[in-house]
Structure 1
Amino acid sequence: MVKFLLVEDDDRVASFIKEGLADQGFLVEAVTSGFEALNQITVNDYDVIILDIMLPDLDGYEVCKITRKRNIKSIIIILSALGDYEEKIKGLEAGADDYLAKPFHFRELLARINAQLRRKQLEKGIFENNKYADIEVDVEQNRVTRSGREINLSPREFNLLLYLLRNRERVLSRVEIAEAVWDIHFSSNTNVVEVYINYLRNKIDKDFDDKLIHTIKGRGYLLKQKAAHES
């Protein structure tokens, strides 16, 4: 059973969310403050944390940052009345997986939860034995090795690598990559995809004879291990 921690100090909102999740067969525990949340997160394993920002003691951004610093991998969805663009960026940069502004429709919250649960499940099973070519990925520990050598990646580089591996041996356009990895509508004025592909190449391919990340001119990028006859 999927286990939730709901961090919400508005009793009416908390009751509405808890009842809706329970109707879906989820197990939900609720707390009303940031410090309570951290205590619960430290001693219990939660699949999903639904987190308000404006809490009576420690705000949700700090709860999120501390949770990630403790290497806790629960899905974190921020649910807040602070809904402008800058607040959403702040929440995602603090380590949240998604951000939904209040007021909200429960069906949208549920859809976002299910999307994140599917993503988690997919990440756990995207590779045969968590390997492709000579790359091995530990999704839970955010750890990557190639030919046994550990490679340190930033969170964004790690997500980009996961997306390429999940779609290995398929050409991906810059639009697909930007929308999947950055969750943004792609603009031709940005070179963020090229920049991060280069970051990843410098760490994944630079010191190895067999290159895995390939540019397909006019189409995008391809992660593929070349067959012997192609070398």
Structure 2
Amino acid sequence: MSRSALLVLADGRFPAGGHAHSGGAEAAVKAGRITDAAGLLAFCRGRLHTTGLTSAALAAAAALGADPDGLDAAADARTPSPALRTTSRRLGRQLMRAARAAWPSPELDRLAAAFPRGAHQPVVLGTTARAAGLGPEDAAHCVAYETVGGPATAVVRLLGLDPFQATAVLARLAPDLDETATRAAERARTALTDGLDTLPAASAPLLDLTAEQHAAWPVRLFAS
């Protein structure tokens, strides 16, 4: 395992397009569900233990070499919101461009050819981790951190929240991040023998509903 590769993949400056997305935080801020650091913490924790766990397990399974067609179908089934499905594939396409430049791989090439409009982002991330010599826990950690890091960064811009407070929220979530990544990797290993249907399917219906509303806004700061 290359720790340097893990740092590169998890770095917010990796050009995978995530900076343009708030992970549902913009809609939550407008609805008054996030008004301060405490609200951000609650939002991130809820997102992490639902959609974050699901996405982390998909990425971990991809890092283990699970069938990408089956994983993409599993991701589709676990993403009921059309707006979020579009976002996931758009982010997957952007990540694929960066990944193939950083870690050229036949597996990435095959995935790109199979999904020219973009595979789901967790599937691409897990395949990228595999190409970079990383394991399922690494892929799961990247997804888990992205799940909370994106909203935290967005809320700094949306609310003018003190960046120190936003960083403190991420620090307080460290035990949750570790737990989620560990659970996701364990479930991914089980799915290789018991079938992809056994992957987590934890969901956050409010995020799905607000994603559809957000997509219809005529003016917004973030793409999602």
Pairwise same-fold verdict (TM > 0.5): no
The structure, 1 or 2, with the larger RCO (C-alpha pairs under 8 Å, 6+ apart) is 2
TM, length-normalised to structure 2: 0.29
More strand by share: 1
Query: Which protein has the bigger helix share?
Result: 2
Structure showing greater radius of gyration is 1
